[in-house]
Structures are given as C-alpha cells and as structure tokens.
Structure 1
Amino acid sequence: MKNWMRANKGFLMFLMLFGIFRTAVADWNPIPSASMHPNLLEGDVVFVNRLAYNVKVPLTDIVLGQTGEPQRGDIVTFSSPANGMRLIKRVIALPGDRVEMRNEQLIINGKQAGYATIDRATESIKGVGDIAAVRLGESLGDRSHAIQVMPQLQARRDFAELTVPPGQYMMLGDNRDNSEDSRYIGMVPRALLIGRAERVLASADIMGNWAPRTERFGMSLYP
C-alpha cells in the first residue's frame, strides 16, 4: 500500500487539491427536481461560485470570512436547516425584511412585487398527472425573473407578515406551488449558504431521451 501511494503521489495530490477546489472555491450542482421551473430544468448542471458570500473551511460550514452579501433575486445553493440536504432556491427576503404572501403575491417591506403573465404551460407531476401552469414575470425592486404557479395543486400560497431574523434569508423556489422552501423548512442561516449559482454549464433531457440541450450550455441565470 505504501509503495502504491508513493508511486501515485502526484495523482493523489491532484485528487486532494481538486477536492479542496470543489468544496471551497467553485462547484457544479446537478438539478434533480422541478422546484426552479421554468428557469432551471431537471438535467441542468449549474456552476456555483462558492466564494460569492463566504470563505469556509473545506468540508464544513465554518465561515472564515465574508466575501460578499447575498442579494434579493440571487439563485443560491445551501444546506437545508431541516435535514442538511443540499437545495437550490432564490433569495427572496434579506435580514430585517418584512415579508408576507397573499394569494401567491409577495409583499416586501410594505411594497407589493410586480407580476405580469408570460405564458401558459403544462407540467407533468409524478403521481398526479398533467397540470396546467401559468408562468409570470415577478419583479422585486430592480430585479425580475420568471416564476411558475399551478392553481390546481395544494400549496402554501399565503403567510402572514414576518420579519427575517438577523443573519438569515428567506428562500423560495421559482416553481412556487411545487417547492420545499422557506415556507416549509424555515429561514436559512448565512453559515448554511454554499454559493451563488451563476450559469448552466451543461444540460440533458433526463426526463426524456437524455438528448443534450445544447441551447442551454453556458446560459447565464440572470437577465
């Protein structure tokens, strides 16, 4: 064993440095679910900048220093405060924000988000079947993005005004009626943030014939 390690020390060093790079600097994140439709699709692989917000000890949530502030509208990977699972959602509310939801519509610090219909679609949900979906443009201040709602599904479309605690963030999925987000798992402490998703590296139709979706390669996640 010692002889093998000595003979392959260069390769082992590469693996160690590669592991540190992935856990401390940059990473890629496969999208396994529909919670960020219509912006992220199952089979997308997104590039995640792990240095966007924090510098951490590799393989831990120990923050050594802060490098930037999460902004409303950022797409973020983080560890779920409920069970530690890695999730990807959008930052909706920042520490100190007052936020509520009325019939799918967000009100942040007393100002209602803007909404405009983009188009309609059909989404197939396992165990449920085909569901009619409405895609909307949602404007939060000077940033906007698309979301999706499915009125036929049961979902938490309303919550009373609350104030986001210091050092924590409210995360929502863009597929509002099919997302396990802060409405269910609570606010996300900054230490659990992994990084900011920047763009789609590659994509394949894993729900169909596994054909590459080349038009999504390199696609930015922000308008």
Structure 2
Amino acid sequence: MTSPVQPIIVFDVNETLLDITTLEPLFDRVFGDAAVMREWFAQLVLYSQTLTLSGRYTPFGEIAAGIIRMVGETRNVAVGDDDVAELRRRIGSMPAHPDVAPALTKLRDAGFRLVTLTNSPPSPAPTPLDRAGIAEFFEASHSVDSVGRFKPAPETYRLVAEAHGVATGDLCLVACHVWDTIGAQAAGCHGALVTRPGNAVLHAPETPTPDIVAADLGGIADAIIQHFAPEG
C-alpha cells in the first residue's frame, strides 16, 4: 500500500478521544460495581456488530440503553427509566482525555487534516465534542448512521473516503480498539492504535498489525508525524 505524505487522520470518538470511565459512577450506583461498565461496553460493541452482520440497524444509543437493561436482567438488578436517562446524559457529556487536545494541536500544527468517525448517531449542538472542548480541531465529524452499519464494516470507512474525495489508502484511523484498526486496515486504510488501559494489539495469524502503536495520543501524534513526514 502506497503511503500518502499526509493522510487524513480519522479519529474514533468513544474511549479514544472521550473518557468513558466517567460512566463508572452510574454502574457503581446501579450494580454496586463500577467494573460492570466494561461488561456493558463490551456487550454494546458485540451487539452493534451483531446487528450489522445480521443486516439490521438500530441507533447506537438505543442499543446502549437496551444493553444496560439486559445486563440488569442477567444480574437480577432492576434498571429503571431514570437510570437509562442518566446513562444517556453521561454519554453525551464525557470529557476528553488529558492527552487529546495537546496531540490534536500537534497534528494540526503539522498540517494534518483531522476528522472523526463514530458509531454514535449525529447529535444537535452542542455535540459531545463541543462539550468536551475539542470540536474545533475537526473539519468534519462522520457517523456510521449515514450508512446504517457499524464499524468495523468496510462501508463505514469508505464513507469517510467518499465524503472527502480520497481513497481509503489516504486515511489513517486512530482508535484504542484493535477491532477498529483491523477493520480500517482491511478496508485499505492505515491504522494507529493507542493502547489505553484494557486495550492491546491482537497477535493472531492473518490479523493486520497496526502501522503505529503507542500508549497515548501524544505518542501516536509523534509517530504519525514521523511516519508520514515529507521526504527530502
């Protein structure tokens, strides 16, 4: 795959940019264990992908609400409408990780174009990125809602390429989920994995290894700048 000098950098949003650990107090209150948040999130990813493989689509927020109720049923814990409403509020107001703004500034100053691609549906202003104070860094925000399929379906990455009139090889996806970088690379994109706690490279045959791996977004930004630096 030919490397462009400066690909468009496409950022995943949930957990990569925005801190989902701020949802933990809700799960601690409802289930008596903040760690249940990780179970909920893993199930959210699993069932969003299940719907895509099954040829169906339900907005991410609706799946999120259904999953917390499902987790409640499996744990014999009553999850009420107020709990679901709090989950929606918290999801819409997650802060950015501390390393996000400095890394985005570094990439922007180096001349890279920055966009986002999220499983979440579009939302009216102020958006989660607005509330997190990082919307200004991105020239566009893309949602899988426009194709009715969830990442890592290839259509989701292609929608970004088509929106900007480039090939998928002219995109570099940054995510903290290796299933996302695998999908992006399978669709022809470059992949950069930030190994936030609980995330790592998958070492398995026929599995694309991310082009770039770093423990934080600052390291990702430095590596992207170095990797795609103009020659000469």
TM-score, normalising length from structure 1? 0.24
Larger Rg: 1
Give the structure with the larger helix fraction. 2
The structure with more strand, counted as a fraction of residues:
1
Q: TM-score, structure 2 length as denominator?
A: 0.24
